[in-house]
Amino acid sequence: MSKRSAIVTLAGILEEHRALLKDQLGKDEGALFEIANRYALRHRKADQRGDL
């Protein structure tokens, strides 16, 4: 499994448990998803960074 694939899988698992993360981490929970979103790991939008 590639590193990218592993991170995408992890982001999906975190998304499934987002409510729990928010309860446990508070506002810091959003930082996890910001990373995945900023680097085109989840939605693959034009304004996101691709592979470095």
Q: How many CB atoms lie within 10 A of CB 19?
A: 9
- Reported as a pLDDT band with limits 50, 70 and 90, residue 51 is low
Q: Dump pLDDT digits (tens) for 20-46.
A: 998 998 888 888 888 777 766 655 555
- Residue 6 is classified by DSSP as H
Burial class of residue 34, CB neighbours in 10 A (0-12, 13-18, 19+): exposed
- Reported as a pLDDT band with limits 50, 70 and 90, residue 17 is very high
Q: Please give the Cα distance from 23 to 20 (Å, whole number).
A: 5
- Reported as a pLDDT band with limits 50, 70 and 90, residue 49 is low
Secondary structure (DSSP) of 7-43: HHHHHHHHHHTHHHHHHHHGGGHHHHHHHHHHTTSSS
The reply to whether the predicted model has a pTM over 0.75 is no
